[in-house]
Structure 1
């Protein structure tokens, strides 16, 4: 019986999210009320708010699932795979949307064209950032709040956010990962080129620097 209830709840949640997205795409986010969404989905407004805390959350109904997938990409990476490589494989290219859900292009266009949704997307990213930073620290064997892992989580997710909503290509995002591996010392000098597979995540330092670089090599 519990399994049946959970399935019905999942179906109701999906119906609400799908209905909301269809209305938002047709009429614009600001031109659709929560009451109209509930009516179209044949539920009470109170039921809608039992599933979603605000109107913006209806667009980001899979955010918890994506957060779990993000941290799992690090925790479940293959032996010998750096955390940076695992994150690149997960984020570039972006995961494909479910066949029965809205297309990725429609989702991105709706968010980009709606300031309230773009701001909400930033809040979601910051929440993911905290989870990812904690996972990176755990996997690297350093205290939670470690500056290197916190910075890496912010850098990777901010780059992904900018690539997604800023008209950048997957190749642009790959270039960011390349630069994270290669380092920034020669950036802007015209002499250095990113080398895939080197730098952060595959660093080989001399013996005198190995202790200082311990966390870096684990990333």
Structure 2
């Protein structure tokens, strides 16, 4: 019980630091706010902040990471890497109608969009996740040459597009429930296209 309480307190501290950082970055700009200022506003020591977030960039970007390689590596016995990824993003789409901090999500996107450094960080994060996914796919399906790398690139591009459209809808005032419903449909579309190509589109001529 004590261990569970400690974990909850750690999560509360982590969330508070992240929320304070986003508020300051949104108000004054990412480059204008120092880590010291974030720590002071969150009521923690600088060393404590770095325990949760190893760098200033992590204050914003940790929440946008999605370990697709771990999804492939940790899939159920008999489940294909592709099916594991599809099921993961189905689950994320279902969460879109749950208790999501829409305002916080929009603020994070706004902060990232306004900072060249953070945009570059997002690109670097996506590239790193893509290479890790390619490695995991290569281990799951050895002897397929370049296929794992191409598959990883396609999955990463599709997921990035789904996220961008979802965030755009929320920023335009689309209700969360509706945005989540559309995301669920588009996850299926994206993975149908990944699995079957253009032939999965009704009316597409071969």
Common fold: TM-score over 0.5: yes
**Structure-2 change in CA distance of 1:23 and 1:101 (3 Å):** farther
Report deviation, 1:182: 2.5
Report the CA distance between 1:35 and its aligned residue: 1.7
Scaled by the length of structure 2, what TM-score is found?
0.66
5+ residue gaps, structure 1, are 184-191, 197-219
Alpha-carbon distance, 1:109 to partner: 3.1
Equivalent pair of 1:73/1:90 in contact (CA under 8 Å)? no
Alpha-carbon distance, 1:88 to partner: 3.0
Contact 1:182 1:195 in 2 (8 A): no
State the structure with bigger RCO (CA 8 A, min sep 6), 1 or 2: 2
Q: Give the distance between the partners of 1:118 and 1:98, measured in 2 at CA.
A: 27
CA RMSD of aligned residues (A): 3.7
Counterparts of 2:105 and 2:128 in 1: how far apart (Å)? 21
1:20 offset after TM fit, Å?
0.6
Give the structure 2 partner of residue 67 of structure 1. Answer: 67
Q: Deviations over 1:30-55 (max 9, x none)?
A: 33221210110122323323332321
Taking the TM superposition and a 5 Å limit, the aligned residue runs for 1:1-219 are: 8-62=9-63, 66-67=66-67, 71-72=70-71, 75-77=74-76, 79=78, 82-91=80-89, 94=93, 96=96, 99=100, 103-140=104-141, 142=142, 146-165=145-164, 170=183, 174-183=188-197, 193-195=199-201
State the alpha-carbon separation in 1 of the partners of residues 131 and 21 from structure 2: 28
Distance 1:172 1:20, change over 3 A: same
Summarize deviations over 1:178-210 as a string: whole Å, max 9, x none: 332224xxxxxxxx64259xxxxxxxxxxxxxx
2-side partners of 1:149 and 1:22: how far apart?
Answer: 40
* Larger-gyration structure (1/2): 1
CA contact (8 A) 1:133 1:153 kept: yes
Q: Under a length normalisation based on structure 1, what TM-score does the superposition of the two structures give?
A: 0.63
Check whether the contact 2:155–2:194 (CA below 8 A) recurs between aligned residues.
no
Return 5+ residue gaps in structure 2 as ranges: 170-181
Inter-CA distance 182–73: structure 2 relative to 1 (3 Å threshold)? same
CA distance in 2, matches of 1:122, 1:175: 24
Flag the structure with higher helix content: 2
